[in-house]
Amino acid sequence: MTVSARFDARVDARDDVTVDPREEAFRAGAGLALSVVRDNASIRVMADGEALLSFRFDGERGVLTVSSDPGDPRQMGSALSAAAEASFAWHPSLERLVLDLGERPAAASELARDGLVVMVDGTPVLLPEMLMQRRESWLTDAARPPFPLSYVMTDGKRHPRRPPKPVGRVYGRFIPWLSEVVSFRVVDVERDLALVHRWLNDPRVDAFWNEAGDLDKHRQYLSKILADPHMLPLIGCFGDRPFGYFELYWAKENRIAPFYDAGDHDRGWHVIVGEDAFRGREFITAWLPSLMHYMFLDDPRTMRIVGEPAAAHVQQLRNLDRAGFAQIKTFDFPHKRATLVMLLRERFFGDRLWQPAAKAAVLETQR
């Protein structure tokens, strides 16, 4: 569901440094406002064309050394997070990065309090499975705390009260093998009706979804999903180009709940990849783990993501297996025989499933 290089020498960043367009840039940070640039000798974190912080990277020893002094100490965390995300993406075999703060050892305790590093024998260490759970780097509304726990009843099912629906873009992540950003935004009926209408009327999609119809039917369909507290409809985009429709759901009050012991914050999903140009391995290895990443970040209490693809859809099940989903059992819905699949939070982050694995295939529709 990969890339490698080595940097040894030291290059100090200056306030007036500019980015050479030939250098390789990795977009990161809140709102993807930072660029991480590597050249022959250094890694620099840039904002608005100026260097915030520079590092030396020693690939053999797995050490990231701060080689410039941030003008604002508050920038250390965001710049370090961006540099580490890029470094782990460029060097996927790295299990961890030792952080050398040079003459700034006092910064380690603050970074540890924020969960950006852990202290191992007195040395700050960056772990990718912790780094990728820092919500501010990918969520639009990262400052929003988890919704307070309060139980309600819906159709005889007791479940947590769900938070109000977000509006607009909710997630964005830079994909280095595409040099593009994948993002998800909440459906806007007026903006997205024609697009979803076209996708739902695609015979290939209708074979799984059975929702073909006219514009009025699909307007009502999307409005109903938006009004349902347990559902969240999203449009996926590569750059500014929409490519797919996704329905996320809270499993506890979903039709899947009677078929397993659903947790309070388990989530599930359905998908349509509507555009032919965005089918294939290089795209599925971008949007699929990013969608899982969003669900795990949206509420840190989400420990499991489930799905219920058709049991006869062998290729789809094989693709989900490659993405880290375990097949739990086969069961009968009123409309299909399904396989319950499940992805654990611990496995997603522990096995670094946000990065491509070998021989990923195509998952175009699931419902």
CATH code (residue 152): 3.40.630.30
How deeply is 124 buried, as exposed, middle or buried, from its count of CB atoms within 10 A (0-12, 13-18, 19+)? buried
> Given 85, 247, 253, 308, which residue is catalytic?
308
User: Which segments of the chain are extended strands (E)?
Assistant: 24-28, 34-38, 43-47, 50-58, 63-66, 97-100, 118-120, 123-126, 151-154, 157-160, 169-175, 180-186, 231-238, 241-250, 267-273, 304-307, 326-332, 337-344, 365-366
Residue-number span of the structural domain to which 361 is assigned? 144-366
Closest CA to 128 of 84, 66, 174: 84
Q: Are residues 101 and 176 in the same domain?
A: no
Handedness of CA 158, 159, 163, 165 (dihedral sign): negative
pLDDT tens sequence across 126-179: 999 999 999 999 999 999 999 999 999 999 999 999 999 999 999 999 999 999
Active site residue 308: yes
User: Which segments of 130-210 are extended strands (E)?
Assistant: 151-154, 157-160, 169-175, 180-186
DSSP letter at 36 equals E
Q: Are residues 117 and 186 in the same domain?
A: no
Q: Are residues 125 and 163 in the same domain?
A: no
Q: Are residues 152 and 35 in the same domain?
A: no
**Residues forming beta bridges with residue 337, ordered by sequence position:** 332
Q: Do 18 and 25 meet the contact criterion of CB atoms below 8 Å apart?
A: no
Mean pLDDT (10-residue bins), the chain, 367 residues: 25 32 75 90 89 92 89 82 95 94 86 95 96 96 96 95 97 96 98 98 92 98 98 98 98 96 97 93 94 98 96 87 95 92 98 74 54
pLDDT tens sequence across 196-232: 999 999 999 998 899 999 999 999 999 999 999 999 9
Q: Are residues 150 and 49 in the same domain?
A: no
Distance (Å) of CA 295 to CA 15, 72, 252, 291: 38, 33, 15, 6
